[in-house]
Structure 1
């Protein structure tokens, strides 16, 4: 019996060591972003020992990374009832709560897990912090709080410091992130990700030369570490966009390194989707269309492929396919919809409705397009920054009504980087659209245009031409009092800038316009003042018929 007992203990020890090695290999695959390989390894562990909840948890976290929440929840639910490491799965379910905006429920789960941890434990803290960081709406401050608690008991644990560095990095605390990554690599020089993250920090600081050097050192240390190639790809992408002179050269390098990254990970559907996302950033739409069709061959039912097909189809000139693909994607409420989905649908409808010569657009499609653009901004307000270029195309074609409908969206968002331009061009578009023969001025639109010019003046009070256009709007509104006030405000601003400004040829016609309109305003109430302004016109243009005739009628 004694021999049997010793033999059993030896087997148990061997199995424990083997199990630990299996997890070590799976974690290595996860870190290398070889997710399909990791899933196969973890499924083998789980099938061999379903009572081990850690395999279920890690499988669930991979599925969350791949945006497959149903499969993730399936494994977390299984793992919760496991006899070992079951509490880890509460962390996974907590991240799902975060993704579904159930913040209190998530925190309750996290607190219960951390409450039972022992002083020697640290993985639970890392996984909770990662749940906060990987959620759809990351909470980096909560992650920092969790990891600082872990650091108290594990001040020299490289994995703890790496997770703390990630939390600081997400919170845009570059200095503390650098210290955490530096110390993590110091305590464990095999932790190649910590070394890589130092290069990532340099990329974020736009120190692209230094980032390139740091990441190449990672590649030299471990040529098989795929994520380093992805970071190099992203470094060259940002380098290209922030230094336009380097664009062609650096975007080519970015694509080359991303292909290298793909070859170092896998060509699964999820990896292809990551590549497709990068192709969108790099504006490589021909390649995106090829990739989307390859993904369709792999999985014809995955809805995200419709997004890629829609984007590529629009950029490559197939508006009908773009509209169909994006409508199909947006019609499913279970899909994770982003603002850009609506943006592309709106753009596709504009393109479809615009005539070949670009001079006319179908009113119904334009109305639908503007509705899509508003939905895009509701999802992601930053997208409004892209509307200025759309409105500008209409404005250049003198399609002022259409331009106004686009500029109006941007003019309503004060955090829009084109806020002033959008307000200015919204006001101009409305004015020009209403200043046409045979067109009855739209009172509401002209009043909104005047507000838009006021918004411009709040930020640029010396922009005198805004007063000219406010005056013109009021002339169309037949509000002579406000018209005269704005022309007088224009004269005050330009006079204050001195004789040189007033003498500019571009201002001569505006001065004459102001003098004549103010003179006409005073003609019925203050003849002396009216004459004064008409005479100012004649000083600039001695043959001006309107001023000459008006002075004759006032005698």
Structure 2
């Protein structure tokens, strides 16, 4: 028996080291595809020792570091690969990818060009330069049009070298999908699946395509097909979880069920990975997407106590603490993250949460500047305009608040709320001072803002009240009142009375309205009957109304 085993072993050795290497590297690549990064790293570190003359080993080790966002470690591995083989197109593609995630575009381009020049008939440098261009750099994971175009240009050149490379075709599909070119993406994924029906990546990629088309049943079918090919293919469960989450947000009737399924599928994904810090951090990203900040805070706290914890955990601690209103803990965490992280690792969203935490901690002026930094870095975070305006309003910097709300209504697009227009108007009203050089402009802007609210929500009584007050400011000559506010006070009364019995606060506003109308009838219209009628109503609603009291005191003399 021992002799038989020995002969078998000897036979394997005699087959040649290249066969053993190829199988081992294939296993490592399979682990990378399955997002079992710790397992892949362990295998590849062993390969870089036992097969130190193979530049591919160093490339795939570096690529794992790229996927985990450790660019410095990635560069070390790629440079070792180039030392082994100075003509390694793959490792130059890797150096380009590492520079790309460091936002060093010039170095990235130089290395990408070198990779392609050395590629020859090897399609993989084309594939990985394409993949590098698709690495997300923004908080929302979106790929810019220019980067997607650059990826496709390289990938199409690779297709000339080898039109049947499945990884190339899936990457082409990914590039098209990033720009919502669904037909082209589907064609590429279909070609990949036809060439290799047992490839789970092509199935999962098609499922993701259906997810973004809100074809949730079709997406689930693709994920199930991928798992039928490989029951341990974790990314299928991860994408299935994210599909469930999207389903929950688009179909309220399914929300509760799909959120639970999303959590279950993500747990299955985690169970199929190596439960490394990086896998758990990806779970943290999922929890942010799911809006489950309570679970995120628990997970982030546990991660922070791990021996090999990544400093990025402080980002998650800060986000979750803010959303859970644990502001002191959040401020401490975000400051720690800013202290520990390299500047290139700071996201615009980090500045957003830092600013929010500073404002919540009564550091409004500092917080506003931080929010402005967030906007400077990512102008798409349009809801920040309203947050800045709200903080300025709270500080009673009314004209600045009005300007900020105005910016919000002009730039914030779909995130603009009707209350933003209302507070734009009220800010300018409170900030009005006849001594200001732009006093008339403030009146015009306030009037316009309230006019918009009235048009969109005709039953919002306060819009009429404040528009009346703003128009009252136009009557600067008290000896020659025009009565600009009259129709708005009248409309305010009409809208309020239609809603039923007014509360005490509304009664005071009604008294204000009737008193104004009484003044108009007394001095402008010269109608004493209507003047007395309106002043009586003012007194009924608010016996302490000064204008009504003055009117009746004058009449008793």
Q: TM > 0.5 between the two?
A: yes
Residue 21 of structure 2 aligns to a residue whose secondary structure is helix
- Looking at structure 2, the residues matched to 205 and 403 of structure 1 have their Cα atoms a distance apart, in angstroms, of 44
The alignment status of 1:286 with 2:294, answered yes or no, reads yes
The alignment status of 1:270 with 2:265, answered yes or no, reads no
What is the match of residue 35 of structure 2? 33
Q: Kindly indicate whether the alpha-carbon contact (under 8 Å) linking 1:46 and 1:52 is maintained by their aligned counterparts in 2.
A: yes
- Looking at structure 2, the residues matched to 245 and 400 of structure 1 have their Cα atoms a distance apart, in angstroms, of 42
Residue 305 of structure 2 aligns to a residue whose secondary structure is helix
TM-score scaled by length of structure 1: 0.77
Q: How many residues align?
A: 514
Gap change, CA 1:400 and 1:71, over 3 Å in 2? closer
The alignment status of 1:21 with 2:23, answered yes or no, reads yes
Q: Which moved more, 1:414-423 or 1:157-166?
A: 414-423
The alignment status of 1:215 with 2:223, answered yes or no, reads yes
What is the match of residue 128 of structure 2? 127
The alignment status of 1:424 with 2:442, answered yes or no, reads no
What is the match of residue 355 of structure 1? none
Gap change, CA 1:97 and 1:511, over 3 Å in 2? same
Tell me by how many angstroms 1:369 deviates: 3.6
The alignment status of 1:194 with 2:206, answered yes or no, reads no
Q: Kindly indicate whether the alpha-carbon contact (under 8 Å) linking 1:388 and 1:418 is maintained by their aligned counterparts in 2.
A: no
- Looking at structure 1, the residues matched to 529 and 79 of structure 2 have their Cα atoms a distance apart, in angstroms, of 87
Q: Which moved more, 1:220-229 or 1:145-154?
A: 145-154
CA RMSD of aligned residues (A): 4.6
Gap change, CA 1:214 and 1:263, over 3 Å in 2? same
Counterpart among 372, 375, 378 of residue 373 in structure 2 = 375
- Looking at structure 1, the residues matched to 321 and 31 of structure 2 have their Cα atoms a distance apart, in angstroms, of 35
TM-score scaled by length of structure 2: 0.76
Gap change, CA 1:486 and 1:40, over 3 Å in 2? farther
C-alpha distance after superposition, 1:486-526 (max 9, x if no partner): 6589799x9xxxxx9999779xx999989997997999xxx
Q: Which moved more, 1:483-492 or 1:87-96?
A: 483-492
Gap change, CA 1:104 and 1:236, over 3 Å in 2? same
Gap change, CA 1:378 and 1:389, over 3 Å in 2? closer
Counterpart among 338, 348, 352 of residue 347 in structure 2 = 338
What is the match of residue 312 of structure 1? 320
Residue 266 of structure 1 aligns to a residue whose secondary structure is coil
Structure 1: state its 5+ residue gaps.
1-9, 353-363, 495-499
Gap change, CA 1:210 and 1:87, over 3 Å in 2? closer
C-alpha distance after superposition, 1:250-300 (max 9, x if no partner): 111111110100111111111111111112222333322332233223236
Q: Kindly indicate whether the alpha-carbon contact (under 8 Å) linking 2:288 and 2:296 is maintained by their aligned counterparts in 1.
A: yes
Structure 2: state its 5+ residue gaps.
1-11, 501-506, 540-546
Tell me by how many angstroms 1:334 deviates: 0.5
Q: Kindly indicate whether the alpha-carbon contact (under 8 Å) linking 2:78 and 2:95 is maintained by their aligned counterparts in 1.
A: yes
- Looking at structure 2, the residues matched to 403 and 186 of structure 1 have their Cα atoms a distance apart, in angstroms, of 64
**Residues 308-457 of structure 1: matches in 2 within 5 Å?**
308-332=316-340, 334=342, 336-352=345-361, 364-385=362-383, 401=396, 409=404, 411-413=406-408, 414-421=411-418, 423-430=420-427, 450-451=444-445, 454=448
Residue 67 of structure 1 aligns to a residue whose secondary structure is coil
- Looking at structure 1, the residues matched to 415 and 266 of structure 2 have their Cα atoms a distance apart, in angstroms, of 32
Counterpart among 452, 469, 472 of residue 469 in structure 2 = 472
Tell me by how many angstroms 1:242 deviates: 1.9
- Looking at structure 1, the residues matched to 237 and 352 of structure 2 have their Cα atoms a distance apart, in angstroms, of 31
Gap change, CA 1:462 and 1:301, over 3 Å in 2? closer
Tell me by how many angstroms 1:59 deviates: 1.5
What is the match of residue 103 of structure 1? 105
**Residues 43-82 of structure 1: matches in 2 within 5 Å?**
43-82=45-84
Q: Kindly indicate whether the alpha-carbon contact (under 8 Å) linking 1:537 and 1:544 is maintained by their aligned counterparts in 2.
A: no
- Looking at structure 2, the residues matched to 50 and 235 of structure 1 have their Cα atoms a distance apart, in angstroms, of 42
The alignment status of 1:531 with 2:525, answered yes or no, reads yes
Q: Which moved more, 1:530-539 or 1:324-333?
A: 530-539
- Looking at structure 2, the residues matched to 341 and 270 of structure 1 have their Cα atoms a distance apart, in angstroms, of 19
Q: Kindly indicate whether the alpha-carbon contact (under 8 Å) linking 2:315 and 2:337 is maintained by their aligned counterparts in 1.
A: yes
- Looking at structure 2, the residues matched to 225 and 302 of structure 1 have their Cα atoms a distance apart, in angstroms, of 25
Q: Kindly indicate whether the alpha-carbon contact (under 8 Å) linking 1:474 and 1:480 is maintained by their aligned counterparts in 2.
A: no
What is the match of residue 91 of structure 1? 93
The alignment status of 1:175 with 2:183, answered yes or no, reads yes
Tell me by how many angstroms 1:93 deviates: 1.8
Q: Which moved more, 1:265-274 or 1:84-93?
A: 84-93
The alignment status of 1:144 with 2:142, answered yes or no, reads no
C-alpha distance after superposition, 1:97-118 (max 9, x if no partner): 3234333432232223213332
